[in-house]
Amino acid sequence: MLKFFVRLLLTMAALKGADICLDNFNLNKGFLSLLIFSLILGIVNWIVKPILVFFSIPLIVLSIGLFYLCINALILYVTSLIMPGELTATAWGIFWGSILMSFFHWLLTVIFRSREKN
């Protein structure tokens, strides 16, 4: 259960990092709304993303993995449709925001895993 909350906080921090770095990727509301948005994003990642990845394997292979970035952006867009008003972004903002969010999430995960081992 603790790992779930840590991952949720890491997702929240990654979203906020993308919000701070990009002008056309804006999270509009406060902490509780960010928490709910992160929870919905996690659920959509858990349920919808494996289905999208499975059906787009040929495109992922042909694009040498670059289509996976489009899937991440689509997941973020679907989450913004589920919770309207939380994320205001252009199409490119969602694309670059998903890339930055993935990078920040990876970086924070590496940092926290190295602290767990020590």
What are the boundaries of each domain within the chain? 13-117
Structure-block tokens of residue 71: 């899937």
Distance CA 52, CA 61 (A): 14
Provide the pLDDT for residue 26.
85
Provide the pLDDT for residue 40.
93
Provide the pLDDT for residue 105.
92
Model confidence, pTM: 0.85
Identify the segments of the chain with pLDDT beneath 70: 115-118
Q: Is residue 44 packed enough to be buried (19+ CB in 10 Å), middle (13-18) or exposed (0-12)?
A: middle
